[in-house]
Amino acid sequence: MASAVEIDAMRRALQLARRGPRGLNPQVGAVILSPAGEVLAEGFHRGAGTAHAEVDALSQLAPGAARGATAVVTLEPCNHTGRTGPCALALIDAGVTRVVYALDDPTDAASGGADRLRRAGVDVESGIERDAAESVVHDWTALVRTGRPHVTVKWAQSLDGRAAADDGTSQWITGPAARRDVHARRAAADAIVAGTGTVHADDPALTARADDGSLLDAQPTPVIVGRRDTAPDAAVRRHPREPLFYATHDVAAVMADLGARGVQRVFVEGGPTLASAVVGAGLADELLVYVAPVLLGGSRLALGDVGVPTIADARRLSVASIQNLGDDLLIVAHPSSDREGQS
């Protein structure tokens, strides 16, 4: 059983893990404890090609200083050679006698480190602060499992389901509180995706901004999808992050490529055509629907064809939450495979 000192060290390792970049590799933190329970070194993974968290921590110690020590790591030490060597072997060579970790590595290539450590006579314990560790790498494990990012589709609509008035005007359907919430969610995403039609019609900046219009520290990479050209002076070309352009309507291929680039979380905010394509392709993991207490009427629906020819094929949703944002409502929903009650 893990000691109180080891649990505290794991919580520190989780804090360290969050310092690392999101991408194709997981965010991992490590703390090396002396036999007396004192912190000898700390480390975290700083990105592809750099030392893994355990090796980063060990590199701060003099040769032999880790003999008899305990390594506390948020993810099972890896057992493969990629750009760097196996962390399990590095710990064995350093003379570590106990390893405490939170989560098993879910990848076939890197798993098995715990067994290698045990075969070398190292005492190994897993599952410490498992839930907290899972929250750190949740998006990465989803990327490993599906090969694509977690996809959130957002739209704002009137009470009667319209995204714009009949003349095409659509700005400020919702109020300041809803817009503030949207920008916070943009900042939490790795990428924000819009269609070329929306870029042409509205010239959005696709930045995450504060109430005063200033840029937030975290900015998603803008991704533009569609076959129309984007004007040289479009606002998105002045985004603090280099935009990605995909001259295609194949949203599944776009998401697969973003996944291959290490993008873990995508925010789709690009108009009814793109939203409908993503939902219709079954790629939406989360829906954010901001509903304003206004009526617009007309033909400009917030969502178009999503491949539902009959009520039996309706895309059922599970509502996670309903929140008041000023005069508006935010409905957060997820796709549901439950077809009970359909008739």
- 8 Å CB contact between 287 and 293: no
State pLDDT tens for residues 229-239. Answer: 999 999 999 99
- Cα–Cα distances in angstroms (integers) from residue 226 to residues 156, 163, 204, 212, 244, in the given order: 21, 20, 15, 31, 11
In this prediction, residue 203 carries a pLDDT of: 93
What tokens does 47 get? Answer: 């990105």
Identify the pLDDT of residue 230: 94
Note the pTM of the prediction, 2 decimals.
Answer: 0.86
Note whether 24 and 48 are within 8 A (CB). yes
Residues labelled catalytic? 54
pLDDT at 337: 65
Maximum Cα–Cα distance across the chain: 75
Q: Which ranges of the chain have pLDDT less than 70?
A: 337-343
| Residue 193 phi, psi (nearest 5) | -115, 130
Sheet of strand 70-75, all strands in order from the earlier edge strand to the far edge: 39-44, 29-33, 70-75, 98-103, 123-126
Determine which helix (DSSP H) or strand (DSSP E) holds 103, and give its type and residue range: strand 98-103
Q: Count of CB atoms within 10 A of residue 128's CB? A: 22
pLDDT tens digits, 96-110: 999 999 999 988 878
Task: Return the CA Rg of the chain.
Answer: 24
pLDDT of res. 343: 35
Question: DSSP per residue over 206-248, as a string?
Answer: ---B-TTSPBPS--PEEEEESSSPPPTT-GGGGSSS--EEE--
